[in-house]
Structure 1
Amino acid sequence: MAKSRGRDLVLRFGDLAIPPGTLGLLGLGQAGVGIRGPAGVIYVDPYLTDYGGEGERLDRCFEPPVDPAAIDDASCVLVSHEHVDHFDPETLGPIASSSPGARFYAPYACDFSKTGIDPERVTVPTVDEPFEVAGARITAVPSAHTGLERTDRGYRYLGYVIECNGVTVYHAGDTVVYDGMIETLSRWRIDAMFLPINGRDYFRTAEEIVGNTNFREAVELAETLDVGMVFPTHYDLVAGNTENPAYFVDYINRRNLHRPYHLLRPGEVFLLVGRG
């Protein structure tokens, strides 16, 4: 993919008008998304290479929609956990160079020494202690990538609640539904939820592929929390760990025909309108 094409996409995202009560979204594929408010841009879990770990490459199902070096508009980057499709040194390093003012937030298990990013730019957020970046109020909440994992350094997996311009977005990263999750998220009136739908099963677990919510669980959580719009994630990138989003569409329409949802495609620019 040519860098100029990626730069054009970033410029188009930057040209999107953001009236009160709205946020701009940029689809990056897998769980990645850009979130643009009036005062800056937040990127969540950008994975824009084929990095698969030291000496390894992943076989992507589609090309990255933007070169990470073209992202020069980042105010901050939120990382949910250390798995390479969420924490990619080859994506984060170029973003840090192109967006020198950006800060990076990630759980303790993310090793930023691999990225070349100055440690002074990196923060391990404390769960339930909001911080402010680019006009947004951001709260880290626990996620459970099959199970809650907590040490004296914090939770291994995080989700983020982002309140900006009158809109509240919950991005789960990778998670299953766990005891206490609904009570935690019920503190907010969520306008949009990004939740994985690739699920989990015996055979993928045997291959050490860590699981997530499936399409039914994602819909049921949206119904329980009465979220404004559901964005399914984590269904499109890595062969053998995908899901047909048509199953999600079918189930949400049968469960509640009036529950809004959107399949945010890689490279798509979308205006999210809050419920007010």
Structure 2
Amino acid sequence: MPDNIDVFTQNSIRIRSDFGVIYVDPFHMKEEPHDADYVLITHSHYDHFSIEDIRKVIKADTILVVPEKMEDDAGELKPDVKDIVTVKPGIYKEINGLEMETVPAYNTIKPFHPKRAEWVGYILRVNGKRIYIAGDTGATKEARQVKCDIALLPIGGTFTMDAKRAADLANTIRPEYAIPVHYGGLVGKKSDAQTFASLVKSPVKVIEKMQYFD
């Protein structure tokens, strides 16, 4: 059971690991814990790259990881963090012991997340598990090739997969656990999680982690 993973809202995720505390796309944070060892950003949209919310979780030795084309945007945070590391889709990187792979995150039939933007999802190797944070993506061919133990998949539709397409992806990649994200707030309904769970087939276990809805 992935007890070390919290989902706050949208794609705002915290993972507690052997390498420290990892945040992905912090957004609408209700507290200011300043406990992040790593902050990973999937892309530049305001509900994923919120400087206000990043400032609530970072500390002086935080490492900020962003897609390469966001380097200028992230520069505003340079004085506040230890380092800013840039990534491109489809690479492997090790940062202070934390191993990660990036997966292209894009829409094939919607205009919101073009492949040319080179935005990413992440596969993190944490506590002996491969955790896939898909980011804002459709069920792309790259997503369908992911090998992971835990998958955090967007299900809200509009900008990403909807619950049915996300369930199809979960049934294709067959993680041990699937955690729905990116619903019940700016996009999607709270009930999308139940729709997703009803369509995901055994042996994949669906866990709802969303803590608050905007």
TM-score by length of 2: 0.84
Residue 264 in structure 1 maps to residue 212 in structure 2: no
Which whole-Å deviations, capped at 9, do the CAs of 1:156-205 have from their partners, x for residues lacking one?
x200000122111000110001234323x1xx3x11101111113xxxxx
Per the alignment, in what secondary structure is the counterpart of residue 106 of structure 1? strand
**Is the 8 Å Cα contact of residues 136 and 165 (structure 1) preserved in structure 2?**
no
Q: How far apart, CA to CA, are the structure 2 residues paired with 1:235 and 1:223?
A: 19
Task: Quote the RMSD (CA, aligned, Å).
Answer: 2.4
Distance change (3 Å), C-alpha of 1:258 and 1:182: closer
Which amino acid in the other structure matches residue 104 of structure 1? L
Partner residue of 1:15?
A: none
Q: Find the residue that maps to 2:167 and give its secondary structure.
A: helix
Question: Which structure's CA Rg is the greater one?
Answer: 1
Contact 2:94–2:100 (CA under 8 A) maintained in structure 1: yes
1:100 partnered with 2:46: no
1:262 partner letter: I
Q: Deviations over 1:65-107 (max 9, x none)?
A: x32xx322211100000011100010113433xx211111111
AA aligned opposite 1:123: V
Cα deviation, residue 27, structure 1: 2.1
Change (3 A) 1:142 1:247: same
Partner of 1:167: 129
Alpha-carbon contact 1:76-1:133 (below 8 Å) kept = no
Q: 1:91 to 1:116 in 2, by over 3 A?
A: farther
User: TM-score, normalised to structure 1's length?
Assistant: 0.67
Matched, 1:45 2:25: yes
C-alpha contact (below 8 Å) 2:27/2:53 kept by paired residues: yes
Q: Structure 1: which 5+ residue stretches go unaligned?
A: 1-20, 49-63, 201-210, 268-276
Aligned to 2:115: 149
Matched, 1:242 2:188: yes
User: Which protein has greater RCO, CA pairs closer than 8 Å, 6+ apart?
Assistant: 1
Residue 61 of structure 1 corresponds to none
CA shift at 1:144, angstroms?
Answer: 0.5
